[in-house]
Structure 1
Amino acid sequence: MVTPPSYESRQFERRPGIRPRQTLGRRLDAASRAALPAAIAVVLLLLLHAPLGLPAQPALLLGAELACVFYWSLFLPRVMPSPVVFVLGLLVDLLGTGPLGLSVVLLLIAHVAGIAWRQALMRQGALVIWLVFAGVAALCCLIEWLATMLLEWRLLPPGSAALQFGFALGEYLVLSGPFAWCMRVVARPHG
């Protein structure tokens, strides 16, 4: 099945001038640029699983992955497709202590939210985007908290979910600047 070209590639094709020939080097360059967001997510995942001795380090993991998936699904969805999000969620589950499949569902929720609200959010400012991410992160933290309570069959204090939610909000703020730079300079240098 042939997929239609994306909007960005159609705009690039319409530009007048000579287009460079697609050599192996150019294809590898394009593939590496497209793989950058997934590579960043994997590096964040491995970094947050390393024994860094940070307080509440496991609570940082979900927020970082949610921020990564939501940001790239919103601003450049072609480099963060659903199969990549699925694999990232599976890696989070395999490296973590939570139930298998829960992180997959949570990251797919963030992915679907980013893609579904893409058109409306692209016209908004950073504050509105951050508030939408806050809603998505709150939903994901609530789902994880409820699922953990059901699987452990005991009542857990809501403080852990609130802490994870706070970390997710802060991580999005911290990571969105470097992500914007990567998108502008590395992932999409042609506009």
Structure 2
Amino acid sequence: MALRPTVGQQIDLALRRSIPVALAVLLLFLGILPWNTHGLGPMNANLVLIPIYYWTLYRPRLMTVWAVAALGLISDFLMGTLLGVNMLTFLVGYRVAVSQRKIFAGAPFIIVWAGFLLMSGVAGLVQWLLATIVKEQIDFNLRPALFLYMIGAVAYPPCAYAFAWIQRRSLFRVA
């Protein structure tokens, strides 16, 4: 006869399972703070792609496609962008991470980081194309996009280190 977990154990497990999405929401809010970036716009897309990529590689059952879609919709609402732009961007990033999971999950960090840079670049291109379609004009000024891409590239290593630490400390019994 199997023992049923107590209510406290079930709550503990649910909270542990929600950590990846909660971290993505935290980075989403961090990215929409007014950082005085002089017209570059909110930089949350690359920051939110970090936990999406990391947790999709290492704990895919904790970062689901539904959670990614919800993060995108929340981002669209908070930023005031056309509904679906960030959602589609995040879903493209998620799909790239899912498709390359077997390659990157056991690879050295530098390879995983390169995978993030590739995924972030593809997602950024999708976001730029969607913004171009919505505005109905092509913006060839790539400085803002490259700056935001670099923010994501520089932020990935410390975030990945923190996520790995959190994973070792709190998620070792989950999924």
TM norm. shorter chain > 0.5: yes
d(CA) in 2 for partners of 1:164, 1:149? 17
| Corresponding residue of 1:176 | 160
| Corresponding residue of 2:84 | 101
Q: Which one-letter code corresponds to 1:28 in the other structure?
A: I
Q: Point out the structure with max Rg over C-alpha.
A: 1
| Corresponding residue of 1:167 | 151
Q: Decide whether aligned partners of structure 1 residues 190 and 28 sit closer, same or farther in structure 2, where only a CA change above 3 A counts.
A: closer
Q: Following TM superposition, by how much is the alpha carbon of 1:184 offset from its aligned partner in structure 2, in angstroms? A: 1.0
Q: Decide whether aligned partners of structure 1 residues 118 and 95 sit closer, same or farther in structure 2, where only a CA change above 3 A counts.
A: same
Q: Following TM superposition, by how much is the alpha carbon of 1:62 offset from its aligned partner in structure 2, in angstroms? A: 0.8
Q: Decide whether aligned partners of structure 1 residues 160 and 50 sit closer, same or farther in structure 2, where only a CA change above 3 A counts.
A: closer
Q: Following TM superposition, by how much is the alpha carbon of 1:84 offset from its aligned partner in structure 2, in angstroms? A: 0.7
Q: Deviations over 1:43-62 (max 9, x none)?
A: 221233234x4436744311
Q: Deviations over 1:36-82 (max 9, x none)?
A: 1111111221233234x443674431111011101111110111111
Q: Tell me the percent identity.
A: 24
- Contact kept, 8 Å, 1:63 with 1:172, in 2: the verdict is no
d(CA) in 2 for partners of 1:43, 1:25? 25
Q: How many residues align?
A: 172
d(CA) in 2 for partners of 1:54, 1:188? 39
Q: Which runs of 4+ in 1 moved over 3 A?
A: 56-59
Is it true that 1:28 corresponds to 2:11 in the alignment? yes
Within-5 A mapping of 1:113-132? 113-132=96-115
| Corresponding residue of 1:155 | 138
Structure 1 unaligned blocks of 5 or more: 1-18
d(CA) in 1 for partners of 2:135, 2:59? 38
Is it true that 1:77 corresponds to 2:71 in the alignment? no
Q: Which one-letter code corresponds to 2:142 in the other structure?
A: P
- Contact kept, 8 Å, 1:141 with 1:164, in 2: the verdict is no
Could you state the TM-score of these two structures normalised by the residue count of structure 2? 0.88
1:50 aligns with one of 5, 8, 33: 33
Could you state the TM-score of these two structures normalised by the residue count of structure 1? 0.82
Give the aligned CA root-mean-square deviation in angstroms. 2.1
- Contact kept, 8 Å, 1:59 with 1:163, in 2: the verdict is no
Structure 2 unaligned blocks of 5 or more: none
d(CA) in 1 for partners of 2:14, 2:174? 15
d(CA) in 2 for partners of 1:179, 1:185? 10
Give the secondary-structure state (helix, strand or coil) at the position aligned to 1:83.
helix
